Amino acid sequence: MDDRAYETAARVENEHWWFRGRREILASVLDRHLPPRPSPRRVLEVGCGNGGNLTLLARYGSVFAIEMDDRARERASLRGIGTVARGWLPDAIPFADDSFDAIAAFDVLEHVEDDAAAVNALRDRLSTRGVLVVTVPAFQWLWSEHDSLSHHLRRYTREQLNTLLQRAGLNVLYCGCFNTLLLPLAIANIKLGGLVSRNAYRGFQTPPRLMNHALEWIFKKESFVIPRVTIPLGMSIVACALRT
C-alpha cells in the first residue's frame, strides 16, 4: 500500500468493522488449529503492517513480525508487542535461521510477484507440524479500485490457493471463503461506489457509528461457522496448512 493508505488504516483499524470482524474470524481459525499446549509457541507474522493483529497473535505464543514499510513498521513496534523487524517475501525473512510453530500472512501473498516462491520461503521457516495461516482477497471478478490502491497483483480462487499451498508440500487443513454475508453489499459498493464518491480512500473510512456496529455484528457472525464449515463464496479466503 502507499503511505497514505497505511496511515489511514492505522487510524481506523481498532474501530472499523472490517478489521474488527476479520480479527474475530481469524481468532476462530487460530483457536481451532492452534489449541493451547504446555510449551510456548513461536509465532511469526509476515507483512504485519501497522501491527493491528499483533495483540491477537500474542494469545498463541511469542510474537515476531516483519514489515518492509518503514513508517508502518515503526507504528507496529510502538505497540510493544513482540519483536518487529524489517523484511519481505520471498528472500528477506530475518531472525537468522529460526523456525516458527505458526506463521501468519494476512493479505500478503497478493502483493508478492512470485507468490509460489513466497510460500516456499514460509514453508522453510515452519517447524515440523508448524501451521501456516494465510488470507487473500477472493475472485478476480471482484477487483476494484481498492485493489489498485492497495497495490494488489491478483485475487485468488480457493482452488488456486489450495494448489499454491499443496505445491509447496504443505497439507491443507482448511481453505474457505469469508465475508460472505455482506457480499451483496460489497458487490453493490464495487459497482456503484464510484458513482457515489470519487474518494479512492473511502474503503478505509469508518462508517457512522450505528452502521459500523451493524456491519461488524453481521461480519462476526461468520466466526461461528468458520472454520468448521467450508464456505465457497465470499470477499476473502482463509487457509490453514500444515508442514508435516
CATH number of the domain to which 197 belongs? 3.40.50.150
| Res. 9: pLDDT tops 50 | yes
Other CB atoms within 10 Å distance of the CB of residue 230: 12
Which H/E stretch holds residue 15?
Answer: none
Tell me how many domains the chain contains. 1
Label residues 135-161 b or e (16+ Cβ within 10 Å = b).
Answer: bbbbbeebebebbebbebebbbebebb
Question: pLDDT tens for residues 117-157?
Answer: 999 999 999 999 999 999 999 999 999 888 988 899 999 99
Question: pLDDT tens for residues 28-79?
Answer: 999 999 988 888 899 999 999 999 999 999 999 999 999 999 999 999 999 9
Q: What amino acid occupies position 24?
A: E
Contact between 47 and 57 under an 8 Å Cβ cutoff? The reply is no
Domain interval for residue 65 = 3-242
- Find the mean pLDDT for residues 175-204: 77
When pLDDT is cut at 50, 70 and 90, the band that residue 195 belongs to is very low
Angle at 75 between CA 72 and CA 77, to 5 degrees: 110
Q: Which grid cell sits at 124?
A: 522453510
Distance CA 117, CA 221 (A): 35
Kindly give, in sequence order, each residue whose CB lies less than 8 Å from that of residue 132, ignoring residues fewer than 6 positions away.
Answer: 102, 103, 104, 105, 119, 122, 123, 126, 165, 170, 240, 241, 242, 243
Q: Which grid cell sits at 226?
A: 468458520
Position 223 scores a pLDDT of: 96
Place of cell 516483519: 66
Contact between 187 and 227 under an 8 Å Cβ cutoff? The reply is no
Q: Which grid cell sits at 60?
A: 498463541
Which H/E stretch holds residue 196?
Answer: helix 183-196
Position 2 scores a pLDDT of: 62
